[in-house]
Structures are given as structure tokens and as C-alpha cells.
A and B are shown apart, each in its own frame.
Chain A
């Protein structure tokens, strides 16, 4: 008789039981996120279709696409989000390559703004950059306005200050020892620095960069404490527009706000799907 026979037979149900236990471990957390997130989306859809005390209608959606303020807010938000994301990435990538061999002190110093709340950075930006602010007092006048400017450059500045360190942390985690070893190996093979950048470094940082940029873009699209603190009164960001509509009209405002926020969410999710797919395809190639 085969001595391993009974052992193998006994192991099968144990393995299956363990599989089930492993899957069950994820259930509480996954269920909470699914219920809360799904509930939030369902609530937003409901709010956009059924105004308080009214009957279901598409009025909020129709009104939204007819409102010039909404179109202005959408373009303004998209522009600020693209500028903040692209600028942060353009600064973070060379910076990460420059400091990747630096010690923990330099890295910690550069990562310092990560835990600082966005709103706090906005307060400091107003203190320094507003008309009559400290920068103007020191220099005797600024050649540009960065707070409440219609182009939203102040908002972009605050986000870049916050997001460059965030991207830097992600990139430096990817540029660890494995990458250094690969780079040394290719240097020994006689690859030029440009070739090494293209064939060794870029594949290493692409996935975390895309992930980080997606998170940054989604955050800028949806957050509104920074635009409220340093942004112009017009145009507004989409989140500001949503909030303002709840203040204007108590009954229809909730529906307009919900529809606006759902559109914002769809843009962010759609972009995330495209970005992730692009990163994966490039990885597979």
C-alpha cells in the first residue's frame, strides 16, 4: 500500500477548509467597504433623480448640462487636475532619480509634507502669497498673483507642493536595491545612460507612477477645501459648484449637487481604468 495515500486524502479537505477560511478573513472588511461605498453611490444616484419631497425626474441632469456655470466648472476642474498631476509627476520623477541614493535623512525631509493636511498648506500659501502677504512684503511686490487667480495657479501650487512628496515616496519605494542591481548589470553590458533610463528605470517606475498619478488626479478632481481657501470665486471647481448648489436651492440643489458629484466620480474612475489598463499593457509588451 502507498504510504502517502491516506495523508494526501486527508490533506485535501484541510486545504479546502483553509482556502475557505482565508477567503472569509477578507469578508468583514470587503463587506463594509462594499456596503458603504455602494450605499453612497446608490444614495447619490437616488438624490440626483428624486429631489426632496418630489417625484423622480431627470431635471437635475438636464439642468446641469444646460448651465454654463457647470461647463465652466468642469473645464476649470479638469484643467487644474491635469496641471497639478502633470507638474507633480514632471518634478517628482527627476527628483526621485536624483535622491534615490541619498540617506534616510534627505528622504524623510522630502517626505515631510506627506502627512500635512492639504488645508494647512493652503493656509500657509495664503499667509505667504496673498496680496499683502509675507512674500510681497519681503520682495516688495510679486510679479504674479497666486491666490484667488482665475487660472487657478494658486490651487495648482498647493497641490504640487503636497503631491510631489507623495509621488516621491512611491517612486523611491520602487527604486530599491533590485533596481540598482539591474542597473549595474546593464552598465556592465555597456548600455548608455539614456538606454538604461528607457529599458531599466522606466519599466521600474511606470506602475507606481501611474498609480500615484491616478490617486492625485482623482483627489484634485474631488477635493474642495484647497479651492475654497486659495481659488477664485469664479470659475468654481465641480465640488465647489456642487456645494454651492445645495446652498442656493434647498430642494433642487441636492439633486444638482449629487449629479455633479457623480459626473466627477465617473471621470476619475474612467481615467483610472484607462490608466491601469495602459500600465498593464505596457508591462506585458
Chain B
């Protein structure tokens, strides 16, 4: 894992690295410069914006559902789980191009809303499935104790519920973010040419490996940062 990724870092900063040399002939910042200008730079911001918005909406929608499912309060949860599993079995490109049929008619194709809606289709199920593992009798008992101790509902929510479920919330947010961040098919279908990081990165793999490597490091950065935050917040790995 470390060796292949280390090579990626070297590749990103190698202005010249022709075969069969094992070390680059010339180091430089050409790749980084290209990765931070023009379409690539806006792609990074677009991907970040869409991923953050998608996760925020997904968490808000997932919360009540995950509580009811996690505490086994539903009499027949089977159909709900079946519904949640369905989008994960269909190609993300299919979801994107199917949705785009309607988005074009609504004049929304290529908008941030279109991208968020497209990503939400499969980010939401992932978020619910991870989030529901944080709820159960242990948390309910803690909340009852807090109520008995006289905590107001708001303080109880912030100090007990969110605090106890923090590792799971972190894991759900991280997974949702990464699924949206890495998505290729849906963004391609509903983006109407809007630059997104994976879409901008791919053509460089064949044409300019240095730019591809620099963009790959950008592509990896939030994953590493989010992972570090989630591990610290929950003090347990994904």
C-alpha cells in the first residue's frame, strides 16, 4: 500500500521520468500547477461541494429512519431494507442517465442540485445502513437516564444522543462522502459536462501521467483527511 502510493507522489513531482530510469530525470511542479489551474481546480471545488451537500441531506433524511430501524421499532423492516438495497445493485451510470431524462425536462441538468439528487440515490441507503448500527437499547437507556436527570430535550440530544452515536455518525458521514466523491457514472450522466474530479482525472491517465498523479493526490486527500477525523472522533477505524 505504501510503496505504490509513494510512487504516485514521486510521479506527481517528476517533470521528466522516462523509462527505463528508476529515478526521475527532473523534478518540478508542472503537474501540481496544471492540477490547480483551470478545469481541474473547479472540479475539486465542485466535487467537494456536491459531496458535502449530499452527505448533509443524507444524514438529515437518514436519522429518523436509522433510529426506527436500529431500535427495531418497525414491525416489518424487510421491504424497507429491500428498497434501500435496490439502488446499490444498479449501475450508477444507469441511475444518472435515467434521472437525467427528467432533469433535462426540468431544466436542471448540469446543476449542483442535479448532482446532489443523483448522488443521494445511492448515498442515502449507505448512510442509513451504517447509521442504524449506532442506535439500540444502550442509547435509549442513556437517554432515559438523561431525561430523569432533568436534561432538556435539546441538551439531551446534543450531550447524550449525538455524543454517544458520534463514532457511527462519523463513519456514516465518511462513507457517504467517499461514495459521492468517488462517483463517476452518475456525475457523467447528470453533470452535462460540469467538471468533477474523477471525470477530469480519467483522461489524463493515458495522456499525461504526471497530471494524473497530481490529481490523484488531490483525489485521495479528503479520503485521508476524513479517515483521520473519523478515527479521531470515534477512536475506532471504519
The number of residues on chain A lying at the interface, defined by a beta carbon within 8 Å of a beta carbon of chain B, is 73
| Residue B91 at the chain A interface, CB threshold 8 Å | yes
| Among listed B33-41, B63-71, B141-149, interface-contacting one | B63-71
Q: Provide the B219-238 mask, 1 if CB < 8 A to any CB of A, else 0.
A: 11001001100000000111
A124 and B125: CB pair below 8 A? no
Q: Smallest CB–CB gap between A175 and chain B, Å?
A: 17
Cα–Cα, bound, A257→B101 (Å): 12
| Residue B194 at the chain A interface, CB threshold 8 Å | no
| Residue B112 at the chain A interface, CB threshold 8 Å | no
> In the complex, which residues of chain A have a beta carbon less than 8 angstroms from the beta carbon of B219?
117, 119-120
A29 and B128: CB pair below 8 A? yes
Of all chain A residues, which has the CB nearest B4? Answer: A124
B75, B89, B90, B220: the one contacting A214 at CB < 8 Å is B89
| Residue A39 at the chain B interface, CB threshold 8 Å | yes
| Residue B160 at the chain A interface, CB threshold 8 Å | no
Cα–Cα, bound, A265→B74 (Å): 29
Most-contacted residue by chain A among B61, B62, B89, B96 (CB, 10 A): B89
> In the complex, which residues of chain B have a beta carbon less than 8 angstroms from the beta carbon of A25?
64-65, 67-68, 73
B7 and A268: CB pair below 8 A? no
B4, B7, B89: the one contacting A265 at CB < 8 Å is B89
B68, B97, B209: the one contacting A127 at CB < 8 Å is B209
| Residue A111 at the chain B interface, CB threshold 8 Å | yes
| Residue A182 at the chain B interface, CB threshold 8 Å | no
The number of residues on chain B lying at the interface, defined by a beta carbon within 8 Å of a beta carbon of chain A, is 70
B97 and A115: CB pair below 8 A? no
Cα–Cα, bound, A169→B175 (Å): 14
Of all chain A residues, which has the CB nearest B174? Answer: A115
Cα–Cα, bound, A32→B212 (Å): 36
| Residue A138 at the chain B interface, CB threshold 8 Å | yes
A40 and B94: CB pair below 8 A? yes
B11, B87, B202, B227: the one contacting A33 at CB < 8 Å is B87
A229 with B205: in contact, given A40-B121, A242-B93, A265-B91 (CB under 8 Å)?
yes
> In the complex, which residues of chain A have a beta carbon less than 8 angstroms from the beta carbon of B69?
26
Of all chain B residues, which has the CB nearest A36? Answer: B121
Q: A112-127: which residues lie under 8 A (CB-CB) from chain B?
A: 112-120, 122-124, 126-127
B86 and A115: CB pair below 8 A? no
Cα–Cα, bound, A42→B5 (Å): 42
| Among listed B150-158, B161-169, B176-184, interface-contacting one | B176-184
A23 and B120: CB pair below 8 A? no
B89, B97, B201: the one contacting A258 at CB < 8 Å is B97
A228 with B91: in contact, given A123-B213, A124-B4 (CB under 8 Å)?
no
Q: Smallest CB–CB gap between A260 and chain B, Å?
A: 9
Cα–Cα, bound, A123→B8 (Å): 9
| Among listed A4-12, A61-69, A128-136, A199-207, interface-contacting one | A128-136
B83 and A40: CB pair below 8 A? no
> In the complex, which residues of chain A have a beta carbon less than 8 angstroms from the beta carbon of B205?
122-123, 126, 229
Most-contacted residue by chain A among B94, B97, B174, B185 (CB, 10 A): B94
Of all chain B residues, which has the CB nearest A119? Answer: B198
Of all chain A residues, which has the CB nearest B77? Answer: A26
Cα–Cα, bound, A39→B117 (Å): 11
Other A-B pairs, 14, CB within 8 Å; known A215-B89, A242-B97? A25-B73, A26-B80, A40-B98, A41-B90, A43-B100, A47-B101, A112-B1, A113-B1, A117-B219, A127-B7, A224-B93, A224-B184, A225-B184, A229-B202
The 3 nearest A-B residue pairs measured at CB: A222-B91, A43-B101, A40-B98
Could you show 9 A-B contacts with beta carbons less than 8 Å apart? A26-B65, A33-B86, A111-B238, A115-B227, A124-B8, A137-B20, A218-B90, A224-B93, A268-B89
